[in-house]
Amino acid sequence: MRTIALAPALLVLLACVAISGCGAPPQERFFTLASEPPHQRDSGASSAEFSIIVGPVTVPELVDRPQFVLRAAPGRVEIAEQARWAAPLKSEIPRVVADHLARLLDGARTATWSQRAAGAADYRVIIDVQRFETTPQEGATIQALWTVRAADDARALTGRSLAVEPAGAGYDELVAAHSRALARVSRDIAAAIAAARRAK
């Protein structure tokens, strides 16, 4: 039986391929915030009674990046390079809030500021997210100041929401916790809009 001898150069090449395959970086994962879809109205139902535009939304500079920012300890954070938002938080948050408001407020037609940048609406919701914290094995925290401004009223309603939702260490759990926290913020905003409409 003949033994085939491999040239030294070929052996080096095969070794490099094996090493590079074993040392491949972890694959990036992309996440989006979730919202419940608005209620499906009957085809014979009347058109929307009023419109709402959500945005602009501001977020802390620390988390205004694609990567997840994880709070590791008081005064220390870690950047998770392999866990990323599929879209900027400044566009994800208004999308989710707009979806929630459409579901919570009967007769509302909602859109985000980017979708209706040049249009007018009966109500505009501006949100300043002051805390957007992701802490593995603890949960998600969202603290936001928001303003509801009616087109036919010079006054504005302002409010503050703080939502803390528990979660485990997994990224899916942490994203779900942030989604639940945004749902709570949306309920506060919806209550303010409903009160403003009743006061007319």
Kindly report, residue by residue over 132-164, the tens digit of the pLDDT: 999 999 999 999 999 999 998 878 999 999 999
Q: How many CA atoms lie within 13 A of 179 on its CB side?
A: 17
Mean pLDDT in the chain? Answer: 86
**What are the structure tokens assigned to 137, written together?**
């094995």
Residue with tokens 């997210």: 129
Tell me if residue 134 falls in helix, strand or coil: strand
What pLDDT, on the 0 to 100 scale, is given for residue 199?
84
Distance, CA of 193 to CA of 108 (rounded, Å): 10
109 C-beta neighbours (distance < 10 Å), count: 18
The predicted-structure confidence for 69-80, as pLDDT tens digits, reads as follows 999 999 999 999
Cβ 137 vs Cβ 169: under 8 Å:
yes
β partners of residue 82: none
| pTM reported for the whole predicted model | 0.83
Distance, CA of 38 to CA of 100 (rounded, Å): 7
Residue with tokens 């409903």: 194
Cβ 177 vs Cβ 139: under 8 Å:
yes
Domains in the chain, please, with CATH?
A: 48-198 (3.40.50.10610)
Distance, CA of 104 to CA of 108 (rounded, Å): 9
The predicted-structure confidence for 9-49, as pLDDT tens digits, reads as follows 444 444 444 444 455 667 999 999 998 765 554 443 446 79
Query: CA 79: distance to chain centroid?
Result: 17
Terminal Cα-to-Cα distance of the chain (whole angstroms)? 97
Q: How confident is the model at residue 2 (pLDDT cuts 50, 70, 90)?
A: very low
Amino acid (1-letter code) at residue 120? A
> Beta strand pairing status for 156-166 and 29-31?
unpaired
